[in-house]
DNA sequence: TAAAAACCCTTGAGTCGCTACAAGGTCAAG
DNA sequence: CTTGACCTTGTAGCGACTCAAGGGTTTTTA
């Protein structure tokens, strides 16, 4: 099967498949005479696995680890289980952050119940004040991973 | 004041300040004889405002809008209030997504209560099956904004 | 006073997980 | 033989930064 069909079958997209190949998540496929990538059922299974994982918001690194265990069936799966626990931790952590965020935002919203001149808007005022969200949340993470709003790292 | 001091005062970081300047969020400062950026209290206030907003996970675009209203005190602040409502919506939406995600992950985790051979790991098995998270969540968003896991867009 | 340290400058590239071209090659049907 | 769907490589872009190279300037210290 060629790349377009694989994409359709896995509900994915051609460029994404080539991207996964570059990133080492999908094994390099055979090529046809005309230099087309040729895939078999194992590629399809693997791609589907990857997409399931991405649907659960895992990073490509996390997925790489899981794929390793898929390929070595006699290894102990403890690390898989731990990886999932950690990942659940990522999600739970992020939920907590966002709930705190919502509270702050609601509080801020409450400061301007009506429409006024911008100079007296309680929201703009609140955002200018120190005291509201003085320091960025520690470990403030977009999605469930990655890094955003790091505080400037202190010299060692 | 020079850029380093401003960074310290605002709990920010020098590169970020220059980045905001490039992006038009901070007004272009005067320069010293030695070509150093020279800032005053208004720059500090503005940067602090921006950092507060980022601490609340707003995009730079959202912040740009707020800054506009800060600068035009006699405009009506209705749009500010709406922007905040929308942004609260972004956060609430994302919380809902992450809670659904956590449920799925917990369910998956339950499939492998002990450590076994990888070939019989309930988690790896679950991720391979169709049926679990068949299609990516609609509108699955990293952070509170942006777009990830778009399904391939259909031709118009 | 001169060297060393600390600060600042610009430019350009890297991060993540894709998406979207552009310019061309290949293949089946009509 | 031509059309058009499909494929190829390569490059650039998103957001919000972060970091490194290779300089110039200012401040501190010996
Ligand atoms: Zn994770
Ligand atoms: Zn208002
Ligand atoms: Zn928002
Ligand atoms: Zn297991």
Q: What does the DSSP 8-state code read for residue B113?
A: -
For B117, the 3-state DSSP assignment is strand
Q: Measured between CB atoms, which of A48, A75, A85 is closest to B109?
A: A85
Q: Kindly tell me the burial class for residue A104, based on how many C-beta atoms sit within 10 Å of its own C-beta (0-12, 13-18, 19 or more).
A: buried
Q: Which nucleotides of D are covered by protein (CB under 7 A)?
A: 6-10, 15-20, 24-26
**What's residue B149's pLDDT?**
41
CB-defined contacts A:B, below 8 A: 199
Are the C-beta atoms of residues A87 and B123 closer than 8 Å to each other?
A: no
Q: Is B124's CB less than 7 Å from nucleic acid strand D? A: no
Are the C-beta atoms of residues B66 and B52 closer than 8 Å to each other?
A: no
**What's residue A152's pLDDT?**
45
Of residues A116 and B134, the one with the higher pLDDT is A116
Of residues B84 and B56, the one with the higher pLDDT is B84
Whole-angstrom distance, CA of residue B85 vs CA of residue A110: 11
The residues near B53 (Cβ < 8 Å, ≥ 6 apart) are A127, B62, B63, B66
Angle at B131 between CA B125 and CA B137, to 5 degrees: 110
B91 CB neighbours in chain A (<8 A) are 98, 101-102, 105
The per-residue pLDDT of chain A, averaged, comes to 85
Q: B36 CA to chain A: closest CA distance, Å? A: 21
**What's residue B7's pLDDT?**
96
The per-residue pLDDT of chain B, averaged, comes to 85
How remote is the CA of residue B144 from the centroid of ligand 3, in Å?
6
Q: Kindly tell me the burial class for residue A66, based on how many C-beta atoms sit within 10 Å of its own C-beta (0-12, 13-18, 19 or more).
A: buried
Phi then psi for residue B145, to 5 deg, are: -125, -165
**What's residue A130's pLDDT?**
67
Q: Measured between CB atoms, which of A116, A128, A143 is closest to B77?
A: A116
Q: A 37-76 residues with CB below 8 A of B?
A: 45, 48-49, 51-57, 66, 69-70, 72-76
**What's residue B150's pLDDT?**
45
Q: Does A143 touch chain B (CB under 8 A)?
A: yes
Q: In this predicted model, what pLDDT tens digit does every residue of B6-47 receive, in sequence order?
A: 999 998 999 999 999 999 999 999 999 999 999 999 999 999
Residue A88 Cα to chain centre, angstroms: 12
**What's residue B140's pLDDT?**
37
**What's residue A93's pLDDT?**
85
Residue whose C-alpha is closest to residue B141's, from B104, B97, B89, B103: B97
> Over 90: is that where the pLDDT of A125 sits?
yes
**What's residue B56's pLDDT?**
83
B25 closest-nt by C1' vs CA: D16
Q: What does the DSSP 8-state code read for residue B118?
A: G
């Amino acid at each position: 099967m060629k790349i377009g069909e694989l994409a359709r079958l896995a509900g994915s997209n051609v460029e994404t498949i080539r991207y996964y190949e570059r990133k080492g998540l999908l094994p390099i496929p055979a090529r046809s005479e005309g230099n087309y990538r040729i895939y078999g059922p194992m590629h399809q299974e693997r791609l589907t696995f990857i997409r399931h994982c991405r649907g659960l918001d895992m990073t490509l690194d996390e997925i790489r680890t899981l794929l390793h265990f898929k390929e070595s069936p006699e290894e102990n799966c403890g690390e898989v289980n731990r990886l999932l626990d950690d990942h659940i931790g990522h999600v739970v952590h992020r939920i907590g952050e966002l709930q705190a965020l919502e509270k702050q935002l609601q509080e801020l919203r409450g400061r301007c119940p009506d429409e006024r001149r911008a100079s007296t808007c309680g929201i703009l005022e609140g955002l200018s004040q120190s005291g509201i969200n003085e320091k960025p949340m520690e470990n403030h993470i977009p999605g469930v991973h990655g890094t955003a709003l790091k505080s400037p790292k202190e010299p060692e």
